Structure 1
Amino acid sequence: MTGTAATLTGFTVGSATLRALASTEPCTEATRLIRAVRRSKRLVLLRAVLDAVPAGRAAEAADHWALLEEAERHDPAAVHDVLHYPTTGVWAEETLRRLHAPAGPPPDLGHLGALAVAAALRAGITFKAALRPTGGRLALPTLGLLRPPRPGPLALTERSWDPEDPAVLTLHTLPGGHTALDDLDPYRATGPAHPASARPARRLTPKGHKRWDTQWSGALTLLQRYDTARAGEVGRLLRSVVPLGGGARSSGATLPAAAGAVLARAQAPPALAATLVHEVQHGKLAALADILPLHTADRTPLYWAPWRSDPRPLEGLLHGAYAHLALAGYWQRAALYGARGAWAQHARIRAQVAAVLPVLHEHPRLTAAGRQFTAAMTAAEQAMDELPPPGDQHATARRAVDRERRAWCEDHPELAPFAQG
């Protein structure tokens, strides 16, 4: 963990890897790249936090970091899991913003100690640490929460974490792997990037956990049945799922700072499987953009996106088209397997993607890599012609999307030129 570079450097994206990523199809080399970018970015971010710690807190931060390094010497995998857990990124970005802000709430530098204690507990080493809970709770990433009986600083040792202790709330692990259902960590969804339509649920009841277990198992079964490669990609790139609250308008969301996490609403397995496919793509594209700019456009909302009613900036349009391209491929495979209603889903989503790909590919603010990327997206969409839906479903879906575009242009006449490729 020492000697971390100040910027993301040393990454090369070959043409074959770029085409594989653009197609949205899982690829070993692309997955390896995404994971490496995430790891590098997280270490850079943590180094930036340490460098920005005020002098009055520097000794405390150094002690926490020393405990992390000691834990790493005993169990590198456990410590890496804590440092690269999705909520750690959210905390680090929020802390860095607060450290550099002239006014506003103070940074939560004590959470670095919580990371160190979680790592030490996971590594099984002997240690002593004193931390101050927030709101009567101490969050230990990848483990859960401690609820001490008394306020004030809490003395912690290797014997402090006992899952049988009523003061302990353990993080729920979903069936079939190491993916956590995180309804505990205070940084599971926070900061300015938090989608207004996606509010995290409060701590679930045992009945809520059981419901998620059932839906998650069903979704994984469908993914493995219809699209084995995408099922594997979800397993390799997804570390946690944050359940959305009952009032959330979105079925899923992704926070760039929380690499490896998806916010998702409890839903039937077919819908949850589709949400996982969709949201994992956003994470992939965000990681690629960290090392390879695809465009130089600003955030002005100008463009029609068939899956939304509001105008989108170029970045949002690209992300939406990319995620929906993966969905079109997933539903095509599900349809070939015989899933009910899958051909209609495929035809509708593919028509939506096809309608905006010309706008993307012909955009003057694309970089050279962006032109290659959107060209490969177009090729992947066109390759779906090899296995078309029965009858005239695709043509019917295209006509429906064209009607929606005309209606949108009537509602946004000033933006009509941005809805045409």
Structure 2
Amino acid sequence: MRPDSLHEAESRHSLTPQQFRELARGDGSPATLAALSRAEYSHRLLLFDLLMDALSPLAGVTGRLPAAQRAWDLLAAAQRQNPAAVEELLLLPETGLWLTRLLTRLRSARRAETPLWAEAGHLHTLAAVAAARAGLTFSFPVPALQERVWLPTMGLARLPSVHRQRNTWTVAEVRSVCGRLTLIGAYGHLRLSSGPEHPARGWLPQRRAALGAGASRRITLDDLGHHRLAPLPDGAAKRLTQSAYDSWSRLLQDAYGLLTTMDPPTADAAAGLLRSLQPMPAHERFRVRSVSSGHGVGGLASSMPDTAPLCAATLVHELQHSKLSALMHLYPLHEPAPPGAALRLYYAPWRDDPRPLGGMLQGAYAFTAVARFWSACAVQLTGHVSSLARFESALWLGQLADVLPDLATDPALTALGRDALQDLLGAVVRLHDRTGEGPEVTMARRMAADHRATWRLAHVRPHPDDVGRLAAAWCAGRKQPPALPPRPHPEIRESGARHLDARAMLVRVGLADPAALDKMCGSQGDHVPGVAGAGPADVLWACAEFAAARRLYSQDIQSASAGPGTWTGLGLALADASRAPEAVKALTAVPEMVAGVHGAARRMSQRTPDPIVLASWLGQGDAGPPGIC
């Protein structure tokens, strides 16, 4: 903990070329992961060094709390007595989140809901927890929110309070004598007569869950901490019910058991890196809402998956983010964009929005491992789970093989970044070559093309001169669309469109639970329960009612209520019915041009063109649709 030794500690950390390649292709042996964890600890120490440098000259920054140096000294004393406890505290994902947010706040002087003294005072809380766990005798002030004191790795103390307004920050005192903990607030105190792991009146201990039945490795189920990876709908974290806690515990054990068989690299990463999970509110069945952060390596927030395979896939996804973030703390894989420069944006098959290079690297790295997990499940599991796994692995492998080559040419990549992408691409190609054929694989290819087309319609802007020229030719009754001048890369803009994968979600429902899909087909209304973004026409398509789906898609387009998925859904329904191949071509390759010309022609002629006839006109000929990039 001595400031003069921090940079020396960092300089000792590096990976061998073999270890780098292991991580680059998405793997990582236990020894490699241990080296990565040690390097991450040094990274945290450096952040603490930066924080102390930033806090020291700021008089009064800690308010009624002692100066930051006092907290640092207590933390250092605890480390001398119990270094393992201090390392655990500093490596908590919430510690990394707090450090980064506070450093950003100090640099930018931004306003925040939490007073600066209370946010800086988390250093005092960490010092008090470290000292208590080290068995020191001390008394030290810490911040309290509405007389609630959060002690990481220990629990939440709820002291007597008269505060009725939210976000009222005060100061409480933590005392420890002969291993007994007492917390003192303005209106009363709480004495823990037994260890902090036992519940008591006013005390909620932090709960943990084992990875695997009987496993010694346990992770924190962080349902009470202040520093969240993702904001909660009602603001404050709440204690999980016993039933929810039990469900999470069983689910994590089952998921980890699956990983040990299906994806040993992720099982190793879970055992070596995973530290906490913050439960989030329930979400849709196949849209597990999960979040991680490069500043909180080893942590994730997640809604509860419905099944162990979905939970395992979620762990794979978020642990890959942690691995890559820790790797990039050692070795930058790309250069930051110059100030004021426009970001190059990419199509990300796993997102609704366009993504810059850094986001693409994270997504490609995570989904390569997700595909690896589902590929193993497709071979080793049976029934509906195996069908779903074949679809998932084929979908992600096909999409990765599509986007990785272009990503590898980005000039902002460092030499190590280019090497890492080549290793990652090699892993994808090896898995892709083993995919095979079958109905699930065919459907995966169709859903990959559907998502790309829907994404184009949402985010690609065709040149207005091209749209106007084509619309004028259509209104003039030209038999063929005119030739268009060559254009550079099209303009890509964030549109706010969401749930572009709605039809793929319906496919997943049909593979995993055909009866549930049949029930959806018989439902009434404009929205599909449990699949946001899906409409009645999408359900008809998923239930193989192609003619009815085509009519409903066309009606929606002609009523001017079409979203991005309506146009591309029309193309799918036409393809399944083997109708209008020219329209299918245009709606797959340049749906944004079809929609743009349709709107312009309607404005010019005051009549609504038939969408299938117009798409067929734009897609006719061997040269393909005009405006294709």
TM-score normalised by L of structure 1? 0.89
Label 1:391 to 1:417 Cα distance change in 2 as closer, same or farther (>3 A).
farther
Segment drifting more, 303-312 vs 398-407: 398-407
| Residue from 84, 88, 100 that aligns with 1:93 | 100
Partner of 1:375: 422
**8 Å CA contact 1:252, 1:262 repeated in 2:** yes
- SS of 1:138's equivalent? strand
| Residue from 149, 156, 180 that aligns with 1:159 | 180
Q: How far does residue 252 in structure 1 lie from its aligned partner after superposition?
A: 0.9
**8 Å CA contact 1:241, 1:264 repeated in 2:** yes
**8 Å CA contact 2:29, 2:268 repeated in 1:** no
Partner of 2:360: 317
Letter in 1 for 2:33: T
Matched, 1:183 2:223: yes
Q: Distance in 2 between matches of 1:144 and 1:346?
A: 40
Matched, 1:408 2:474: no
User: 1:41-89: CA deviations, max 9, x gaps?
Assistant: 1111111111222244686322222222222222211121112111111
- SS of 2:46's equivalent? helix
Partner of 1:76: 83
**8 Å CA contact 1:6, 1:48 repeated in 2:** no
Matched, 1:169 2:188: no
Q: Distance in 2 between matches of 1:315 and 1:152?
A: 40
Structure having the higher Rg: 2
Label 1:276 to 1:165 Cα distance change in 2 as closer, same or farther (>3 A).
same
Q: How far does residue 210 in structure 1 lie from its aligned partner after superposition?
A: 1.4
Q: How far does residue 372 in structure 1 lie from its aligned partner after superposition?
A: 0.7
Segment drifting more, 120-129 vs 374-383: 120-129
- SS of 2:320's equivalent? helix
After TM superposition, the structure 1 = structure 2 runs for residues 361-400 of structure 1, keeping only pairs within 5 Å, are 361-385=408-432, 387-391=434-438, 394=441, 397-400=444-447
- SS of 1:124's equivalent? coil
Q: How far does residue 353 in structure 1 lie from its aligned partner after superposition?
A: 1.0
- SS of 2:201's equivalent? coil
Q: Distance in 2 between matches of 1:390 and 1:230?
A: 27
- SS of 2:218's equivalent? coil
User: 1:247-269: CA deviations, max 9, x gaps?
Assistant: 69752110222121011111122
Letter in 2 for 1:358: P
Q: How far does residue 377 in structure 1 lie from its aligned partner after superposition?
A: 0.8
Q: How many residues are paired up?
A: 417
User: 1:145-165: CA deviations, max 9, x gaps?
Assistant: 111225753352242244342
User: 1:170-226: CA deviations, max 9, x gaps?
Assistant: 11101242200001110133xxxx579998853212222112112212211221232
Letter in 2 for 1:215: L
User: Which runs of 5 or more structure 2 residues have no equivalent in the other structure?
Assistant: 162-169, 182-191, 212-216, 462-488, 493-588, 590-627
Partner of 1:261: 299
Partner of 2:597: none
Bigger relative CO (Cα 8 Å, ≥ 6 apart): 1
After TM superposition, the structure 1 = structure 2 runs for residues 96-115 of structure 1, keeping only pairs within 5 Å, are 96-105=103-112, 106-107=115-116, 108-115=119-126
Partner of 2:501: none
Partner of 1:280: 319
**8 Å CA contact 2:150, 2:225 repeated in 1:** yes
Label 1:301 to 1:207 Cα distance change in 2 as closer, same or farther (>3 A).
farther
Matched, 1:331 2:374: yes
Partner of 1:117: 128
Partner of 1:242: 278
After TM superposition, the structure 1 = structure 2 runs for residues 1-20 of structure 1, keeping only pairs within 5 Å, are 1-2=1-2, 3-5=5-7, 9-20=11-22
Partner of 1:289: 328
Q: How far does residue 322 in structure 1 lie from its aligned partner after superposition?
A: 0.9
Label 1:330 to 1:195 Cα distance change in 2 as closer, same or farther (>3 A).
farther
Q: Distance in 1 between matches of 2:133 and 2:399?
A: 46
Q: Distance in 1 between matches of 2:153 and 2:232?
A: 26
Q: How far does residue 32 in structure 1 lie from its aligned partner after superposition?
A: 2.7
Letter in 1 for 2:430: A
User: 1:273-329: CA deviations, max 9, x gaps?
Assistant: 100001111111112222222222538362111122211111111211111100111
**8 Å CA contact 1:86, 1:240 repeated in 2:** yes
**8 Å CA contact 1:201, 1:245 repeated in 2:** no
Q: Distance in 2 between matches of 1:284 and 1:230?
A: 10
Letter in 2 for 1:48: L
| RMSD value, Cα | 3.0
- SS of 1:133's equivalent? strand
Partner of 1:203: 239
Segment drifting more, 44-53 vs 57-66: 57-66
TM-score normalised by L of structure 2? 0.61
Partner of 2:400: 353
Matched, 1:270 2:309: yes
Label 1:416 to 1:404 Cα distance change in 2 as closer, same or farther (>3 A).
farther
Partner of 2:137: 126
Letter in 2 for 1:319: Q
Q: How far does residue 8 in structure 1 lie from its aligned partner after superposition?
A: 5.3
**8 Å CA contact 1:174, 1:213 repeated in 2:** yes
Letter in 1 for 2:145: T
Q: Distance in 2 between matches of 1:278 and 1:118?
A: 31
Letter in 2 for 1:169: L
Identity of aligned residues (%): 33
